[in-house]
Structure formats: structure tokens, C-alpha cells
Structure 1
Amino acid sequence: MLDRLQIVKQRFDEISDLIIQPEVIADQKRYVQLNKEYKDLKALSEKRDELVNLMGNIDEANEIIADGSDAEMVEMARMQLDEAKEKLPALEEEIKFMLIPKDPEDAKNVMVEVRAGTGGDEASIFAGDLYRMYTKYCENKGWRTSVVDLSEGTSGGFKEIIFEVTGEDVYGTLKFEAGVHRVQRVPQTETQGRIHTSAATVMVLPEAEEFDVQIDMNDVRIDFFCSSGPGGQSVNTTKSAVRLTHIPTGLVAQCQDEKSQHKNKDKALTVLRSRLYEMELAKKQEEDAKKRSSQVSSGDRSAKIRTYNYPQGRVTDHRIGLTLYDLDGVMNGGVQKLIDELQLVNNTEKLKEASEVF
């Protein structure tokens, strides 16, 4: 482990020198990449220093105890040794997790797409509930959310809503939310009190930078149209909404959230770029069964990752068999408990795969 940490320390020192060089600062793409690597390695480098100090304390204490010439010093050394040995296993375990190679996408911002699946109007209402759950969660995390496009349901909620989330390590956190979410409850329109099952699909796409995906605008058809829904007098009279169609792939992205045609075009282009990037990413990750199984693209009830049962007040994540009896808390943005457990299982699996390195 110390050999690997020494390599980390050398790379950290190298990057520390590089990011202050004028030619690196002038190269925006390289500067951003090096800054991200610097941030990742800084935490690991600090843990490496902590480990070296702790192991130094153990060696020093052992030397004093072996000498045995000063009883008082020996007693203090024994206390120091016991304290250091108690801290060492937890620190080593923490460093092992930090040494697991990170998904390079984890630090990216995301586009979240929530679509009503099976269940009619109730599915649209549930899609709206999920959108509110995520926006509250993001608010608690200090992340910013911005609606890109939406299609309202006939009885409330959304047939579809796309929103952007920006912040720190957004994709690394929200990627576990991708899949089919199922709700079991008595709809407001149900007169006989029967429990209905509905579903909504959540897709989490890492937001692609311009240097991640190059789009030839000659391959993109641009259509302008009038926005629909609430938003003031100019909404239905000004062609500010933008729809982009990527001709080679058939992918479509649109935005009507902003009053400015230019801003809508920029947002739609971000969505299109993210979808193209996710398409390429999926090809590269095809062999990763765990990740692929969580990126469910169908709104069918049978392909579920999580169930929200209102009569029993419970939420069950079927991937890890976890049930929480805190439905109100979860729906009010308290998703962190579920994500923490999913991350723990994911990291434990990665640690098993990398165990031979240590």
C-alpha cells in the first residue's frame, strides 16, 4: 500500500507544479482536467501523510519499549502504541476505498429525465412526486437545479420532465437513481379505495462538455416553435422554443423553459450532447452488468429498482433488498440513506475486485 501511496504523492507533487505553469493555465481543457486530478489526489495524499506519521509513531514507540531504560517513557510509549494500533486498521480501510479507481464520470453534472410509465394519470402524478423529491434532495446538498423541458400530465404531475443538476460529484451520487420506480397507493381518482400500481422511469445522464462530444451542426436540424403551458403573454406567440434533431442518430432534444430562443438552443444542445455522450458511454460499459442493469430505459412495471408503498409507509430498493419505513422522509428529499447503502455495496464490490492489489 505504501508503494502505491508513494506513486500518488509523486503525481500530486507533479500536478502541484504543473497547474501554476502559464502554458497549462492557458490550455483550458488541460487545466480543468489537472485541477480535478489535483483535488482527487490531495485528499489521498493527506491520508498518506497521516498513515506515514502513524506508522512512524508505532516504530518510535516500539524502539522506546525495546530499550526499556526509562520506565516512565516506556509507559507513555505503550499508551502511544495502543492508540496508534487502534487507529491503524480504520485508516488503512479508508485508504483502500480511496485507492479504488473512480469512475471518471462521477464528478460530472447531470441531466435527469423523469418520464411517466405505466399507470396513466397516476403515473404522471408520481413522476411529479419524484421530481419534487429530487429537487428537495438537491437543495439539501447545495446543488442547483434548472428545468430544461417538460410536458405536463392531464391531471397533474408530468408526462416527462428534464432538468439539469450542477454541483460537486453529482453523477457519482445520482447515477444510483437511474431505473424504474414503482408506486403503490390509492389514487385520488379511485372511488372504491383500491390500491393501484404505477411506474415512472428515471434516467441520469452525465453532462458532456464540448471537448467530450463534438457535434457537427451540419448534422443537426433546428426547429423553432411556440412554447406551451404557463409563462406569460409571449409564451404562445413567440417562437422561442427550440427542437434539435441529430440526423445521424435520430436523437431529439428540445427546450422551451427560457424566454430567449438563444438560451433554449444552448440548453437543448447540452441535452443532445449528454444523450450522445451517454450513448457512447453505454457502449463502453456494456460488459459492466451491474451498471447496465441500473440504467433501465423502459417504463414497464416489471423492470423496477425501487417501490414506494404508501399504505405501508415503506420504500424498498430491490437491488440491495433494503426497506425503509420512512416514506414521508424519503419523498421530502431524504434519499441519502438509500444512496449511502447503494454506494457502500458498490464500493465493497469494487474493493473485492481490487483486493489482490493490496
Structure 2
Amino acid sequence: MKLLDGAVAAVDHGGSLGRARALFPSAVLPFVDLSTGINPHSYPLFDLPATILLRLPEAARTRDLVEVAASAYGAPSPDNIVAAPGTQILLPRVASLIAPGKALVLGPTYAEHARAAAIAGHAVTEVDDFAALAGADLAIVVNPNNPDGRVIERDRLLALAAGMHAKGGLLVVDEAFMDVGPRQHSLAGDVDQGGIVVLRSFGKFFGLAGLRLGFAFSDAPTVRRLDMQFGPWAVAGPALEYGIRALADIGWQDAMRSSLADAAARLDGLFGRFGVPVAGGTTLFRYVSLPDAAGLFSALGERGILLRHFPGRPNVLRAGLPGSQEEWQRLESALAGWASRRDDDAREIA
């Protein structure tokens, strides 16, 4: 159990090319950014009418979006969903749905949940035991987990949610990667029982992170509370149009899940060739654990390949998927260079 002092401080995340340039000033450019879990194969871009940018978004299009989202994610009804400009902006608002108290985050996981709970006034602690969450006023679970891909089964989550609801608490389940996870363990269809908020990210699976679109699912009164905080025009017109079309495109989604599974298996095989053990993840990112994780991170970074490292956890890394054959080749070459140097070092020691 770890008390998170200073949890309101900003946290470094993957995806910053500015930080990468400062860290690896001599790297081969352009960077191959594998530091995020964002799909490198985005939903196909399409032309938007000029009026989408010239006019304020229509309330009717927001309703269209939550209707298609309810169908795509399995929510009880559109009244159980609020759309937002990304899930990040939802985090402190969701944490503020209950009075400040004891927030427990099942970790290690995405650091912004702890920061948002602290901003909302909660005393935040990270725990590694799911059972400990029963003692929280605000319990937070990322499912599948980022960065290791851990999955908590739906029945265990529902039992926790029932206990939280009975005492006026709240269970928050971040399902940002459930599009590529075991969807039978999603709680999106259970939010009417109360005491549950489910978060879903649009940009990760659809590869459109810059669009800034996300959703919160809960019982209808809680959704209305969140919606009132945003007011009109919270979601930009282009995000509405892309969200409506992409969420309705089940054929693209099914084909992409299959393609991502193939790519993840390919990445596992590539890591395995060079002695890098894959310990978990999802089909959008792989989680590796090895004693020389820091050396691997630096060796690849010097060659313009960015992985995600985690301060305080020096033996683990997260790797997203290359997006082109050129990127696959660059990653293979960089791994070969690292492995060769590692083997040379081992021979010298011997």
C-alpha cells in the first residue's frame, strides 16, 4: 500500500516528442513513437462539410453520438452516457461526485487517476490488492490495466460496486482499452445499478487521440450531474461526426481487432528473438519486464525508437505497435544492435 503524496503534481506520459528530443538529442529522426497505446492505424479520415467548423455543434448531433455509443458499448440507454472532449477532462469531475474521503487506486496503473482524485480533495492511496478496495470511499480500477494488461472479472467488480453503493461510495472503472479487451468483463451495461462510473476512450482504439472524445457511463441522475458541468457544445463538431461514423462501423472495428491481434503477436515474436520477455499487455501495447529495461530503453531511444518507461519501476517497459513496415524494420534493427552490445558485454564479463 502506497500513500501518494503530492499526487496533484503533473505526471509525465508517453507521446511527447519534445521530451524525446531533449532526452535523445542525437537520435535518428523521425522518431518511431511506441511510447503510447494509441492504434497506429487510425479510422479512415473523411472530408467534413465546412459548416461543421463554421457553426456551433447541434444538440441533436450530440444525442446522435450518445445513441450510437450506447449501442456500440452496450450501455442500457443513451441516458446513461455523457460525451466529453476526452476522458482526461472527466477524471476530476467524476472523482468529485462524492465528498472527499479515502480514494484507493488499484495499481500500479495510469497515474492521472490518483492525481485527479487528489485534486478533488481525496486522500489517495495506491494498493496492489483488489480486496483492499472495499475499504475505499472512491475505488478506482483500470480494466484492462495500463500498463500490464491485468483484467478484473466482471462479477468481482459488480460485488465491489454493490458494497460501494450501499455505503454511498463510488467505483470508477476506466475501460480505455476494453475495445481490445475481454468485453464480457465490461461494466458498461451494469451502470444502472448505481455506484458505478465507467470511462471509455474513443481515441486509443480508433487511432484519433487528437480528436479528444471520450465517454462516462453511469446511472441517469449521475450522468445529468456530469452533463450539467459541461454545458452546451462540450464536444466539437468534427469529434461528433467522427464519433458517430466510427462507432457505427462495426465491420471496421471487427477487422481492426483481428489486425491488432496479429500485430501484437508479431511484436511478441520480435521481442522473443532478442531475449526480451513479454509479461502482459493488450493488443494495443505490450508490457515487458527485464533487468536491463533501462538499457533497452536508452539503446532504442538513441536509435529513434521510443518506448514508455516508468520512474520508480526501472525493470519494466511498455511498447506500442509499429505502424508501417519501415517502422518494424527500424525496431528490429535497433533490437539487434542492443542485443549485440548486451552479448558483447556478457562475454567480456565471462
Going by fraction, where is strand more abundant, 1 or 2? 1
Does the pair score TM above 0.5? no
Q: For the superposition of Structure 1 and Structure 2, which TM-score range results when normalised by the shorter chain?
A: under 0.3
TM, length-normalised to structure 2: 0.26
Higher RCO (C-alpha under 8 Å, 6+ residues apart): 2
